[in-house]
């Protein structure tokens, strides 16, 4: 019984974390783009839910660059 309760609460916690916190995933995306990783690697990591898409990562870096130019 304890194993089932642990499994269910773990699934609930993981699903809530992905909706509220994306800081780690954004850092992984920025690191991968900076390391010039190819799109196929992004697709593989996207399958494991460890990063966003290649195009979204480029968009995020572009928006950061625009904010730096303004400042």
pLDDT tens, 49-71?
777 888 888 888 888 888 888 87
Query: Residue 26: pLDDT band by 50, 70, 90 thresholds?
Result: confident
Is residue 8 left, alpha or beta, with left meaning phi > 0 and alpha meaning psi from -120 to 50? alpha
Helices 54-70 and 39-47, axial angle in degrees (round to 10): 110
Gap between the Cα atoms of 64 and 33, Å rounded: 13
């Amino acid at each position: 019984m304890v194993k089932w309760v642990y499994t269910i609460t773990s699934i609930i916690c993981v699903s809530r974390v992905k909706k509220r916190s994306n800081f780690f995933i954004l850092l992984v995306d920025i690191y991968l783009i900076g390391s010039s990783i190819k799109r196929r690697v992004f697709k593989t990591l996207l399958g494991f839910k460890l990063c966003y898409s290649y195009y979204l990562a480029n968009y995020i870096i572009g928006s950061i660059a625009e904010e730096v130019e303004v400042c």
